[in-house]
Amino acid sequence: MRVEIWSDIACPWCYVGKARFEKALAAFPHKGEVEVVHRSFELDPGRSKSDIGPVVPMIAKKYGISEAQAQAAEDNVGAQAEAEGLEYRTRGRDHGSTFDMHRVLHFAKEHGKQGELFQIFYRANFAEERSVYTEGDERLVELTVEAGLDADAVRKVLADPDAYADAVREDEREAAELGATGVPFFVLDRKYGVSGAQPAEVFAQALTQAWGERPPLKLIAQDDDAAACGPDGCAVPPRG
């Protein structure tokens, strides 16, 4: 079974939702047969790389609320993150473009390191004093190297704005096609969807349901004369 998770590094509920999903997955009897794939979704796709600013005033402006109310919203997310055993800095976080991070995540995917790197980006953004939003590339290089990838190769990806850009856009196009308007968005075997940082019990239910309803394969063109090889040798069909 395959679970695809659309999320953004800048999305606090993605950080919390991932932990809740992983809690459910850890207790799932067939966890060894579940493949998790991360997909890109930018909350702020038009944002320029140089447009960086503190989170709390940004929230206040977006909702038309006071900075104290915005801080209270951050504190609430922080409390829910802590309840999941996650560190969450409710003061001093920045907000900015995540496009380059998503490009690098697709590069990391080719090297089997996407899951690790996503977690490293989350930790840097939400738990640590290392902002992922910087004008230069060195912070992202530093974090990507922590996932075991080569610094020069990552620098090349970051220096070329087209590198893996199509892969990011394709993920976002698929999210829209699947009906996702926000993240986190979990898709199980392209059949079931779970929207938002639902409680672990909801993910457990979704895993169980999707697992139980895996359809038996429908064979197309079943044919005893098919050109195939098995333990007893290779069939040689009459044609040819």
Nearer to a second copy, 29 or 240 (CB): 240
State the minimum distance, in angstroms, from the CB of residue 65 to a second copy. 10
Give the C-alpha distances (Å, rounded to integers) separating 124 from 19, 71, 155.
16, 20, 19
Select the residue interacting with a second copy from 13, 88, 122, 133 (CB under 8 A): 13
Task: Give the whole-angstrom CA distance, residue 37 versus residue 31.
Answer: 14
| Position 119 contacts a second copy (CB under 8 A) | no
Q: Would you give the DSSP letter of residue 32?
A: G
Task: Give the whole-angstrom CA distance, residue 217 versus residue 53.
Answer: 51
How many residues are listed for the chain in this entry?
240
| Position 183 contacts a second copy (CB under 8 A) | yes
In this structure, is the dihedral angle defined by the CA atoms of residues 62, 68, 73 and 77, taken in order, positive or negative? positive
Question: Per CB under 8 A, which of residues 150..179 are in contact with a second copy?
Answer: 170, 174, 178-179
Nearer to a second copy, 136 or 222 (CB): 222
| Window of 21-29, 125-133, 138-146, 215-223 that interacts with a second copy by CB under 8 A | 215-223
Token code pair at residue 106: 């697709």
Question: Per CB under 8 A, which of residues 56..115 are in contact with a second copy?
Answer: 59, 62-63, 73, 76-77, 79-80, 83, 109-112
State the minimum distance, in angstroms, from the CB of residue 73 to a second copy. 5
Q: What is the rounded (10 degree) CA torsion for 117, 120, 121, 122?
A: 120
